[in-house]
């Protein structure tokens, strides 16, 4: 039994109780059945022995014939498993005096408890709350909007509450290289799953995917495209987590939301990507200064005040004078973000008769960290065409 939802109606609560009771009945029957089989009876004989018995009869059978007290069996077997969000006190930050600041947060919990009666629901009233977030989410994906034909579609995926997520998992500030590589790997696999994606650009906690103007994915239905992309990206991120963070347990499920934009001209797409890269540069430059100030002993409030109203050249000067850091020498992945696209590569195919073989062309997904100005598009004219398909 699984309760994986932010809101649960009365009918859903009743259904969960019924499911819990059914789990108990099935497990009690199966425990008796397989103990009888292991004792030498055939499966048909075991079924006949249990036919028409009640719960107390099965308990008595286990106690007398096999010296088993059913109530001592593992709760996971008797009660099943419930997955829900439990309120826990979580440290969200450290104040200027080194004291932890705690806030109640909802943490995914697995428990083996009774949900048949009312006690569980009375002790966990937040599960039954009327959640605005969930209703808004359902409403958003219930709209049957169709993207206009012959228009480019951009699906922008953003990780929600990423500051909290990065704090829980001890990401480096301002950029965690491993976390960014995980985002890039997820984006690369997205392109393999969706051939209609011709380009992707991401930084920090977001990725923008450009779908070709002739894409007919899900008949261009906005709700299906958004739900598919957000859920698949989330699953990729979680599946690949251990590969990139082998020694860090995934403590909180990442939540990626998706929004969509529709543009009629390729020029506007390029301008959009340039704008996102400008946001990447501005945000990273600010955060680099901010966290260097904090690491040097300033409080977060003091760091914000120092940077208030500063221009790009002021921040570069601050980094150089106070920390001997040349911002332009920082990794390009931090300053310019990451773009994902297909490029043509030649592979050598061996000949069956042992000859020299022949070369053949394939399209491989590439991750790069470059300026997305006019020069880039001139060097990669195939990116926004159908020639890769």
- Report pLDDT digits (tens) over 92-142: 677 666 677 777 777 778 888 777 667 777 777 777 664 444 444 444 545
**Are 113 and 254 in a shared domain?**
no
Specify if 354 maps to a domain: no
Burial class, 249, CB count within 10 angstroms (exposed 0-12 / middle 13-18 / buried 19+): exposed
Specify if 296 maps to a domain: yes
**Are 35 and 158 in a shared domain?**
no
11 pLDDT tier (thresholds 50, 70, 90): very low
CA–CA gap between residue 1 and residue 80 (Å, rounded):
6
Per-residue pLDDT, 19? 56
CA–CA gap between residue 14 and residue 54 (Å, rounded):
23
Where among 336, 357, 374 does a domain terminate?
336
Is the CB of residue 372 less than 8 Å from the CB of residue 270?
A: yes
Specify if 369 maps to a domain: no
Q: When comparing pLDDT for 97 and 46, which is higher? A: 46
Specify if 348 maps to a domain: no
Per-residue pLDDT, 247? 93
21 pLDDT tier (thresholds 50, 70, 90): low
Specify if 366 maps to a domain: no
CATH code of the domain covering residue 99:
3.30.70.3000
Domain that holds residue 282: 137-336
**Are 20 and 125 in a shared domain?**
yes
**Are 324 and 187 in a shared domain?**
yes
pLDDT of residue 63 exceeding 80, the answer is yes
**Are 216 and 164 in a shared domain?**
yes
Mean pLDDT rounded to a whole number for the chain? 83
**Are 182 and 100 in a shared domain?**
no
Please give the helix or strand (H or E) that residue 30 lies within, else none. Answer: helix 10-38
Specify if 217 maps to a domain: yes
Q: Which of 61-65, 120-124, 201-205, 270-274 has the lowest mean pLDDT?
A: 120-124
pLDDT of residue 374 exceeding 70, the answer is yes
> For 171-184, what is each residue's pLDDT tens digit?
999 999 999 999 99
Specify if 105 maps to a domain: yes
Specify if 104 maps to a domain: yes
Per-residue pLDDT, 9? 44
What's the whole-model pTM score?
0.63
**Are 177 and 251 in a shared domain?**
yes
> For 211-222, what is each residue's pLDDT tens digit?
999 999 999 999
> For 323-339, what is each residue's pLDDT tens digit?
999 999 999 999 999 99
Region 308-320: what's the mean pLDDT? 94
Task: Output DSSP code: residue 80.
Answer: -
CA–CA gap between residue 68 and residue 219 (Å, rounded):
58
Sheet of strand 206-211: strand arrangement: 256-263, 152-159, 206-211, 197-203, 338-349, 358-368
Where among 130, 163, 197 does a domain terminate?
130
CA–CA gap between residue 45 and residue 53 (Å, rounded):
14
Q: Which of 38-47, 196-205, 356-365 has the lowest mean pLDDT?
A: 356-365
End-to-end CA distance of the chain: 44
Where among 336, 355, 376 does a domain terminate?
336
Is the CB of residue 195 less than 8 Å from the CB of residue 367?
A: no
Number of domains into which the chain is organized: 2
**Are 124 and 185 in a shared domain?**
no
């Amino acid at each position: 039994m699984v309760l994986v939802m932010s809101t649960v109606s009365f009918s859903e609560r009743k259904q969960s109780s019924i499911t819990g009771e059914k789990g108990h009945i099935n497990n009690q029957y199966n425990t008796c059945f397989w103990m009888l089989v292991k004792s030498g009876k055939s499966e048909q004989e075991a079924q006949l022995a249990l036919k028409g018995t009640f719960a107390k009869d099965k308990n008595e059978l286990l106690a007398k014939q096999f010296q088993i007290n059913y109530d001592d069996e593992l709760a996971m077997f008797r009660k099943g498993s419930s997955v829900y969000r439990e309120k826990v006190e979580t440290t969200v930050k450290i104040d200027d005096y080194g004291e932890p600041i705690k806030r109640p947060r909802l943490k995914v919990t697995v428990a083996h408890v009774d949900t048949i009666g009312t006690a569980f629901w009375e002790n966990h009233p937040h599960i039954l709350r009327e959640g605005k977030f969930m209703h808004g989410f359902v409403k958003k994906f219930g709209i049957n909007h169709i993207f206009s034909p012959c228009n480019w579609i951009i699906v922008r995926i953003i990780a929600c509450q990423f500051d909290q997520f990065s704090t829980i998992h001890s990401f480096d500030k301002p950029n965690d290289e491993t976390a960014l590589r995980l985002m890039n790997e997820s984006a690369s696999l997205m392109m393999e799953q969706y051939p209609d994606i011709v380009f992707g650009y991401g930084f920090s906690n977001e990725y923008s995917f450009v779908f070709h103007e002739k894409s007919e994915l899900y008949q261009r239905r906005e709700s299906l495209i958004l739900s598919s992309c957000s859920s698949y990206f989330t699953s990729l991120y979680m599946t690949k987590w251990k590969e990139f963070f082998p020694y860090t347990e995934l403590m909180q499920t990442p939540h990626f939301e998706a929004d969509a934009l529709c543009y009629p001209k390729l020029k506007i797409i390029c301008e959009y990507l340039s704008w996102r890269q400008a946001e990447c540069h501005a945000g990273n430059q600010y955060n680099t200064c901010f966290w260097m100030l904090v690491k040097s002993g300033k409080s977060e409030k003091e760091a914000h005040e120092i940077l208030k109203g500063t221009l790009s050249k002021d921040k570069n000067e601050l980094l150089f004078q106070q920390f001997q850091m040349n911002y332009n020498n920082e990794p390009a992945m931090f300053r310019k973000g990451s773009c994902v696209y297909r490029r043509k590569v030649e592979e050598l195919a061996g000949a069956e008769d042992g000859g020299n073989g022949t070369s053949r062309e394939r399209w491989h997904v590439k991750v790069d960290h470059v300026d997305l100005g006019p020069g880039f598009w001139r060097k990669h004219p195939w990116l926004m065409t159908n020639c890769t398909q």
